[in-house]
Amino acid sequence: MEKLTSLFVEHLTLLISQYGEWAVFLLMTAESALIPIPSEITMPFAGFLAGRGVLNFWIIVTIGAVGNVLGSVLAYWLGYAKGEIWIRLAIRKWGKWLLIRESELDVGMGWLQKYGHVVAFISRLLPVVRTFVSLPAGIAKINLLKFSILTFVGSFLWSSALAYLGLKLGQNWLAIEPYFRKFQFLIVGLGITAVIFYIYSHIKKRGE
């Protein structure tokens, strides 16, 4: 796995080295379009190249944020057009086995519709979550303009922080990647715990 990860990082950095801003734009777009290409590698390496004068720092930060917005809008529209239909059909067919009811989906959609713009902004500052948040936002049909603006702001802050770390760390830019990986594991662990608690509470409720 470690060898595979190193190979992935090597190809990613080679792509950025060869195509510069275009590579940053495409990679950051893909990250927000449900393709898990880590910005924790893309932006620090771009920042490192900016420190060497190969790229312009503020241009790559802006491009990274714009790419995130574009990818997010694509995922948003996928959720808007297809997501809810598929999810509702799946719940009707397998909901009793998945321990979820359609009424609970309605509650979730309502929550996202009411607070979605806040969720969208905060999630842009979190690894892993930032890749997938746009799909449920589209399903919930939250305001696209507000969603896009806050996505840009959150993504700009995230891209700036990562690129700045890469710029300051120089050739040691990759040293920050293990810390983000640990943060990702923490988020996934919390998510699994929440799912277990959710299943347990439903089973207990049905047994009463």
pLDDT digits (tens, 9 = 90+) for 20-50: 999 999 999 998 886 778 888 889 889 989 9
Kindly calculate the radius of gyration of the chain based on its CA atoms and give it in whole angstroms: 19
C-alpha 126/C-alpha 191 separation (Å) is 13
DSSP code of 127? T
pLDDT computed for residue 188 by the predictor = 44
Q: Structure pTM? A: 0.71
pLDDT, one tens digit per residue, over 134-164 is 777 888 888 899 889 989 998 999 999 889 9
C-alpha 122/C-alpha 29 separation (Å) is 18
Q: Which of 83, 164, 154 is nearest to 119 (CA)?
A: 154
Which tokens go with 3?
A: 């060898």
Buried b (16+ CB within 10 A) or exposed e, 50-87: bbeeebebeebbbbbbbbbbbbbbbbbebbbeebbeeb
| Residues 162 and 41 sit within 8 Å (Cβ to Cβ) | no
| Residues 63 and 43 sit within 8 Å (Cβ to Cβ) | no
C-alpha 173/C-alpha 105 separation (Å) is 42
Average pLDDT over residues 115-131: 72
C-alpha 163/C-alpha 39 separation (Å) is 10
Of 104 and 85, the structure prediction assigns the larger pLDDT to: 85
Give the up-direction half-sphere exposure of residue 190: CA atoms within 13 A in the CB hemisphere. Answer: 7
C-alpha 206/C-alpha 152 separation (Å) is 43
pLDDT > 70: percent of the chain: 62
